[in-house]
A and B are shown apart, each in its own frame.
Chain A
């Protein structure tokens, strides 16, 4: 981590009666970094970010945001955070513009500044032409965009998004993911919770896997996949002397396993993306004609399965 750490939390604990919702969670996020908190429903993601955002008292642990200690009463630390809750958190009786103006003023902007910034966010979220309509008349996608826009309004240095794509159509989902990537690219630190493995893989620089309130693994996607200890699977559909070709490939140091099948060859290699040209070159040299190639890389689903013995969506 560099000196640009925007969020640092350690030893977070929270209990609800007999249930320990979060138990010793800790991680950090640097400016411009997107950190994904991946875990199944009920794993403790929302409780964790509620404590980070100062919504919920914690039983133990520390949180600092942009160098400021965070508690439920921390005004300065909260002003650095943009929070997008999982459920829509907009006022349906107010227009999109009024929703934005209200929160802009609440974050300390002057009326003129709030008006200017609200207009920018309305444009950013594609709601400018419906700005004066009451939010209850918006479509689901528009409400979701307004929900996210409210979190961006005051140009936060740390953006916390709690499963922002739940219940969103694929088109809006892609738009949200693109927006988050752009914000991160612009230097914003992003904490993104999800139980969708694909989103975490697509967006996040680092991922923390949380289960039963504990952070059970953390790192880049590749780091996490390596913990599984499995290589990439390559299946060649081919014709020719497949046995000889398989033996030739097995002699390579980066090939862990190679076997000829009926109509093809199955390989397990360390990194299929980088070694695929060499594989194709070897089999071609042995006179084998390749009709198709199928590569299967181990993913975060496999990581979660490896770590917990359960599927991510169980």
Chain B
């Protein structure tokens, strides 16, 4: 173990000195996560907290119910902040400037038309650069309109049940209140979306981190081939250390480079981008499992190559393919057909799924993804170790 540690320390010193590991393991993934996040923030509507404006030009019963109950409840979710604006012009200006992602306008006379059973409409002013947020605002408005229609239908149904009699106003109000309070008979609650999807910042942070992890760990195992090419392997083999120590030192180098890279990226993306990785223990379990899977796969690829250069090429191709399949750039799990199932042949997919599950389901949710990644590590690592013994010859 002492010899393995000495070899690992020597390799780490070399790698950190030539800066290649720092570049691949930290700088590039951090930079790409930042760039992707900046690009896709514009498309999806900026930050994850959507700023919605509301202009109440009505000040009637229905509008107060909408702003006081519906929008207030939406605001309590933490995902949307509601800003009350005094005029439509002001709200339109803020939406155009991007300060507000969208604005819901309750026109004057809205409540009166609703109470009179006449057609009434809510208006949504969207920001062209934030289509998703505009859609969210539209959905909120449509949802409220559907509720109003449900109440109307309830009252109409009660009136139709008593033909020839006119319902007194008190009775109509009571019916409306009862209909409003009644639970909708059918409700869809999208649990999977809450538990299996990372927000955009966290997705790009985690995606880039695990994508480049596969490049980072290759520095350890590939250095065995480099040592053979440069002649230093002969000197190591002539020293009074076991071959297992030499191999162990190389694998330990990969593991520690992975730990350093992932730790720095988790901290940096949390501090700089506000990425939410989740429970630290769960994240640590997933990271360790991902590093072991990446090390096993990269070590196996290295054993198939004739020299360090060929190994590096093959490892890069493998890392890119697995990264794409594993959904590190875009969520392949949402793709149609076989692609959504194919994604789980890549440890990266399990890592990202584990992080998503961790946010929605607690620490226990990481065990399945972690075990899947450890299975990758066990299979590829065992074959690699068997083949690596041949590499450790002059």
A residues contacting B by CB (< 8 A) are: 50, 53-57, 72-73, 75-76, 78-79, 81, 83, 85, 87-94, 98, 102-103, 105-108, 150
In-complex Cβ contact of A89 among B3, B14, B234, B241 (8 A): B234
Q: Contact: A106 with B6, CB < 8 Å?
A: yes
A93 touching B232 by the CB < 8 A rule? Answer: no
- Report yes or no: A106 in contact with B242, Cβ–Cβ below 8 A: no
Q: How far is the CA of A113 from the CA of B283 in the complex (A)?
A: 43
Interface of A is mostly: loop
A55–B231 CB distance below 8 A: no
Indicate if B243 sits at the interface (CB-CB under 8 A). yes
Q: Give A301 Cβ to nearest chain B Cβ, in Å.
A: 30
A78 touches B232 (CB 8 A): no
Whether B14 contacts A91 by the Cβ 8 Å rule is yes
B235 touches A103 (CB 8 A): yes
CA–CA, A150 to B235, complex, Å?
9
Contact of A54 among B230, B235, B237 (CB under 8 A): B237
The complex places the Cα of A50 from the Cα of B233 at a distance, in Å, of 12
One of B3, B10, B240, B241 near A91 (C-beta < 8 A): B10
From B10, B237, B240, contact of A94 by CB (8 A): B10
Known: A56-B393, A94-B14, A98-B13. A89 touches B231 (CB 8 A): yes
Give residues 342-394 of B contacting A (CB, 8 Å).
Answer: 393-394
B239 and A103 form a contact (CB under 8 A): yes
Task: Find out whether the CB atom of B242 lies under 8 angstroms from the CB atom of A73.
Answer: yes
Contact A89 B232 (CB under 8 A): yes
- 12 extra interchain contacts, Cβ-Cβ under 8 A, other than A55-B394, A78-B239, A89-B235? A56-B394, A75-B240, A81-B238, A83-B235, A85-B234, A89-B231, A91-B232, A94-B10, A98-B13, A105-B6, A106-B6, A106-B241
**Residue in chain B with minimal CB distance to A82:** B238
Closest to B237 in A: A55
B240 near A108: Cβ-Cβ < 8 Å: yes
A88 and chain B: residue at smallest CB distance: B231
Q: 6 nearest interchain CB pairs?
A: A83-B238, A79-B240, A89-B231, A87-B231, A78-B240, A75-B240
The interface size bin for chain B is 20 to 34
List, sorted by A's number, 9 A–B pairs whose CB atoms are closer than 8 Å.
A54-B237, A57-B393, A72-B243, A75-B242, A81-B238, A83-B235, A83-B238, A88-B230, A103-B235
Secondary structure dominating the interface of B: helix
Q: Could you tell me the distance between the alpha carbons of A76 and B232 in the complex, rounded to whole angstroms?
A: 20
Residues of B within 8 A of A79 (CB): 240
Number of A-B residue pairs, CB cutoff 8 Å, is 70
In angstroms, Cα B234 to Cα A6, docked, is 21
Cα–Cα distance between A53 and B237 once the two chains are bound (Å) = 9
Which single residue of chain B is at the shortest CB-CB distance from A85?
A: B234
Among A87, A90, A102, A150, the residue within 8 A (CB) of B6 is A102
A56→B390 CA distance, assembly (Å)? 11
For residue A106, which residues in chain B have a CB less than 8 angstroms away from its CB? 3, 6-7, 236, 239-241
Decide yes or no whether B190 CB sits under 8 A from chain A. Answer: no
Q: In the complex, A107 Cα to B239 Cα: how many Å?
A: 7
Contact B238 A55 (CB under 8 A): yes
Whole-angstrom distance between the Cβ of B117 and the nearest chain A Cβ: 83
Q: Which residue of A lies closest to B246 (CB)?
A: A106
* A203→B246 CA distance, assembly (Å): 35
A288 to B232, CA, bound (A): 64
Q: Tell whether B17 is near chain A: CB-to-CB under 8 Å.
A: yes
| A85–B235 CB distance below 8 A | yes
> Shortest CB–CB separation between residue B344 and chain A, in angstroms?
39
Nearest opposing residue in chain A for B5, CB measure: A105
Measured between beta carbons, the chain B residues less than 8 angstroms from A107 are: 239-240
Residues on B with C-beta less than 8 A from A83 are 234-235, 238
Q: Mark B13-57, 1 if CB is under 8 A from A, else 0.
A: 110011000000000000000000000000000000000000000
Contacts of B394 in A (CB 8 A): 50, 55-56
Chain A positions within 8 Å of B240 at CB level:
75-76, 78-79, 106-108
A108: which B residues are within 8 A, CB to CB? 240
Give Cα distance in the complex from A79 to B3, angstroms: 14
Interchain nearest-CB distance for B122 vs A (Å): 67
Assess whether B238 is in contact with A93, with CB atoms less than 8 Å apart: no
Contacts of A91 in B (CB 8 A): 10, 14, 232
CB distance from B330 to the nearest CB of A (A): 38
B157 CB to nearest chain A CB (Å): 82
Distance from B206 Cβ to chain A, minimum over Cβ atoms (Å): 32
Within 8 A of A (CB), among B179-228: none
The digit string for B97-113, where 1 denotes a CB below 8 A from any CB of A, is 00000000000000000
| Structural contact, B13 and A72, CB atoms closer than 8 A | no
List of A residues within 8 angstroms of B18 by Cβ: 93
- The smallest C-beta distance from B151 to any residue of chain A, in angstroms, reads 76
Q: Return chain B residues, CB-CB under 8 Å to A53.
A: 238
Q: How far is the CB of A143 from chain B (nearest CB, A)?
A: 11
CA distance A54 to B392 in the complex (A): 12
Q: Distance (Å) between the CB of A162 and the closest chain B CB? A: 9
Residues of B within 8 A of A102 (CB): 6, 10
A107 to chain B, nearest CB (A): 6
Known: A75-B240, A106-B241, A108-B240. A94 touches B13 (CB 8 A): yes
